[in-house]
Structure 1
């Protein structure tokens, strides 16, 4: 992760503020008035002592009483205005941030999700952005307000006695030093804390999604220990942060007490000598006390600001990752597929220099069912992942009707591809919405026909709410065969000319496999189909079978011709049925 300076981070954060400039301008005006009225409040102390308590002036008693009510009331109105507007701007920025990060994540290829665990990405979108929210909507707001208050109050001091004002300006660097010094510490600890929080999210996500395996292997205690260990690491970092936060306040208090004692000594001598009235002295002292409160608050929120800046660094690190797979500027829409899909000298090498595919040459005409078999890790799934451009070739090319996949838009390409995988991906929604996923504008009749063709209508009608039944996270309220038939119905409804079946029946029992296989036959009609299968019995009737070994096509033919060659396919077939 690249190190970014505070200036770079703040400049980029300010970019998110541009759409809300009008609200910011109004809030800044309101903030200035709050600071000015705070100065007026402290200046009133002079007249309170000199005119009322010393000179016994009744007129000032009534006038000052009314003035206090007006000043506090108007100040409250301006305070509400700027506070609410800035809070709203802060929340708006967070909404924008989360939407932007979410959108950017979904632009990334599959390799991105191999590098960044799910828990880490969730932590970035939720926890890290929340830290920015506090830094922007609360802490930065407070610093702006307090800075203006300090300027106005020091102006009051300067107006009343410029000698003492110069003394105050000399003390300010002493108060500012701890803020700067502690800021560096808070930044470092905050970055570490956010990393450990992401690690906690990863462990939490893994154990919750894998709860069946945890229970099946009696590993609850092991996972408890693992998670507790991660919490202990996070605890140590946050305790360090708390130690410095708690130390900062008394240090600031001591500096403030030292400055106040010196002021009392110098100011008291001026009162004794008659060069300053008691009212002026107490107005000055009140201004300094009120001014020092914002200085202390700036130190207090410094930790939150540093947390926000560290979080922004982590989020910008995600946003700065350019999608490896995307549309070229001159990309065109892919016309409806009708001819053939061609692989020409295709090779694929991963980032770790592992070569997954080597010199693949393959022509698949429209309407053909191509089965892809081979040992695990041979490159079967990698080959099919190239068709919808989940991955891009390292060399060579793939064309659809003569159009290179890299020269057509991703949307138009993927619009013509349907996928059914072994790991059924369903959403915690109704059966209706899961079938219509990607085609929400379809009719109820179309959904019904797709469910019937997928042999899913019978069990759907037996559910308490039929198509309106919510199936739980990942479809946990359905059996494996039922989930697979829902995903087949989804593919049927999409009605794409190219179909990829990635071991769609390998995880099912024999009875479920029969029903799913029957549904798949309906799905494969009049489509160009790529079938990855471990169970060779399911692909006997394929138009063509290729055998992939170590990333190469080593055999190509029909079931009978491949058996007759007594090669790799026969070995796979014999191993499975013996």
Structure 2
């Protein structure tokens, strides 16, 4: 995953490397000028030469400032491009995800935001530090080698110890970080569930126990974080130790060389000025190493969403439904076995035929597989064995994602969104007007339904439709489905929360005013079943 996004910004990364190399060359030139200027001032004072050296050094500083500015601008561009690409691809994959996936949970939003926030610094922070840690020491080492081979040899011996130690520490840090990510994910999900189910917890007097459980999980997460910090401090201490030892050995050997062998003091000063700059990128890499660890953990958390085998077909080249058949639509299931992602069996070896333009009621005991059949007809649940046909055309021969353009599906628990009543009717469609909604209400014999809400169409339903009753939620979802004017209606207990009088009015209006539709209903109630043209008993187990 990280490699694929790195390939998308390869050009920017190459420019970044070139700017880092140029900055390193200017850094070496600057210290050479400073060493010569100090030597000129202390031992052979030449005012003209000193001014010349300092003016060139000032020009080098200005050039380095420009390069640093360009690097910052490039870093900002990288941040924008990577974050946009990750979020865009993630949203596309979430929208393509199977609606029955266990990955579509309440904690998804928080975990995704945290993961994306940890991935972006990998490109803007860690990769920058990694390139700097390779390019800058190499250029400065070459400059030091040209004036003091002994110092270059010392640096060559000390430098490999730093990445080796980082690898050794990094393995332990990776395990600790994985544990911390798992802990915060569990804590996040537990807290979200507790908040969403607070009424049930209070009903059974379990709120205090739940608070204790969350406190315990929070304490464990804090301990995991402290363990990572301990390793981080140990790593920083080791880096400082090796860098200090390397500079100290260079200083000692240079001191003896100048004192005993008459080594040029300007060269010695140049090496001592370059040595800290030589180790600085390695220090920065060590400090940013945790960015890589966090990014790898975040990528692991998002791995499911970037695995092409986990969700519904993407970028299918198969034809659309209307290119292979036309309405009205019939269905047939041939020895179909349906298994959910968590291993539950929906139906087993089921044979079923549903006639076009007719109303078919599926009856059976709870758990017999009625809802599973509806989800399979929608294309949400693919058969593990057997085949599903629409107008004798196999689901394998066309893009099943196109089914949503022809099917209106109402599940057992219809989803309502925060917003006005009209927003939940229109679902953002500009062609839906108040008049069209009222027309559907009249056809369903419930023209006064809107009057039950203070403010009418502008009534706010609240989160998950908490400000409406179960029966009202059913009617809203039914109206929303009828406004789509689809050819196929799949209803899972659409009137389960309605009283008998209201149920009869709605059913009578629906079947009299919306004819010639293929309607499949998972039903228990007698009033619903009697409107069916055909009743099929399901015992898919």
Is the structural similarity TM-score above 0.5?
yes
Shifted more, 488-497 versus 449-458: the winner is 449-458
Q: Are 1:39 and 1:149, in contact at CA under 8 Å, matched by a contact in 2?
A: no
The CA distance in 1 between the partners of 2:450 and 2:130, in whole Å, is 59
Select 2:222's aligned residue among 235, 247, 258. Answer: 235
CA 1:120–1:503 in 2, change beyond 3 Å: closer, same or farther?
Answer: same
Q: Are 2:441 and 2:479, in contact at CA under 8 Å, matched by a contact in 1?
A: yes
CA 1:214–1:17 in 2, change beyond 3 Å: closer, same or farther?
Answer: same
TM-score of the two chains, using structure 1 as the length reference: 0.84
Alignment of 1:560-575 (within 5 A): none
2:250 is the counterpart of 1:263 = yes
The CA distance in 2 between the partners of 1:14 and 1:506, in whole Å, is 51
Select 1:210's aligned residue among 197, 206, 211. Answer: 197
Q: Are 1:346 and 1:395, in contact at CA under 8 Å, matched by a contact in 2?
A: yes
Q: CA deviation at 1:508?
A: 4.8
Secondary structure, counterpart of 1:109 in structure 2: coil
Secondary structure, counterpart of 1:428 in structure 2: coil
2:18 is the counterpart of 1:29 = yes
Q: Name the structure 1 match of 2:141.
A: 154
2:244 is the counterpart of 1:254 = no
2:158 is the counterpart of 1:165 = no
Q: Are 2:34 and 2:53, in contact at CA under 8 Å, matched by a contact in 1?
A: no
Alignment of 1:141-540 (within 5 A): 141-323=128-310, 325-326=312-313, 329-334=317-322, 335-338=325-328, 340-349=330-339, 355-437=345-427, 439-442=429-432, 445-450=435-440, 453=443, 458=448, 460=450, 467=457, 470-508=460-498, 521=511, 525-540=515-530
The CA distance in 2 between the partners of 1:478 and 1:260, in whole Å, is 73
Q: Are 1:434 and 1:486, in contact at CA under 8 Å, matched by a contact in 2?
A: yes
Report the number of matched residues: 538
Alignment of 1:103-142 (within 5 A): 103-110=92-99, 113-114=101-102, 116=103, 118=105, 121-122=108-109, 125-142=112-129
2:2 is the counterpart of 1:13 = yes
Secondary structure, counterpart of 2:160 in structure 1: helix
CA 1:246–1:354 in 2, change beyond 3 Å: closer, same or farther?
Answer: closer
Task: Give a deviation string over 1:341-370, Cα, whole Å, max 9, x none.
Answer: 223333334577764324433332223222
CA 1:519–1:437 in 2, change beyond 3 Å: closer, same or farther?
Answer: farther
CA 1:339–1:101 in 2, change beyond 3 Å: closer, same or farther?
Answer: closer
Q: CA deviation at 1:321?
A: 4.8
Q: CA deviation at 1:299?
A: 1.2
Select 1:62's aligned residue among 32, 51, 54. Answer: 51
Secondary structure, counterpart of 2:427 in structure 1: coil
2:42 is the counterpart of 1:53 = yes
Shifted more, 455-464 versus 406-415: the winner is 455-464
The CA distance in 2 between the partners of 1:92 and 1:46, in whole Å, is 42
The CA distance in 1 between the partners of 2:139 and 2:509, in whole Å, is 77
Q: CA deviation at 1:379?
A: 1.2
2:33 is the counterpart of 1:44 = yes
Q: Are 1:49 and 1:278, in contact at CA under 8 Å, matched by a contact in 2?
A: no
The CA distance in 2 between the partners of 1:456 and 1:408, in whole Å, is 39
Task: Give a deviation string over 1:142-168, Cα, whole Å, max 9, x none.
Answer: 222343222222222122212211221
Q: CA deviation at 1:266?
A: 0.8
Task: Give a deviation string over 1:493-516, Cα, whole Å, max 9, x none.
Answer: 111121111122324566875676
Q: Name the structure 1 match of 2:535.
A: 545
CA 1:548–1:165 in 2, change beyond 3 Å: closer, same or farther?
Answer: same
Q: Name the structure 2 match of 1:570.
A: none
Q: CA deviation at 1:61?
A: 3.7
The CA distance in 2 between the partners of 1:308 and 1:54, in whole Å, is 53
Task: Give a deviation string over 1:148-192, Cα, whole Å, max 9, x none.
Answer: 222222222122212211221111112222211112122222222
Secondary structure, counterpart of 1:118 in structure 2: coil
Q: Are 2:33 and 2:54, in contact at CA under 8 Å, matched by a contact in 1?
A: no
Unaligned runs of at least 5 residues, structure 2: none
Q: Are 1:186 and 1:307, in contact at CA under 8 Å, matched by a contact in 2?
A: no
The CA distance in 2 between the partners of 1:176 and 1:384, in whole Å, is 58
The CA distance in 1 between the partners of 2:465 and 2:72, in whole Å, is 45
Q: CA deviation at 1:246?
A: 0.8
The CA distance in 2 between the partners of 1:321 and 1:134, in whole Å, is 25
Q: CA deviation at 1:338?
A: 1.7
The CA distance in 2 between the partners of 1:341 and 1:198, in whole Å, is 42
The CA distance in 1 between the partners of 2:220 and 2:435, in whole Å, is 56
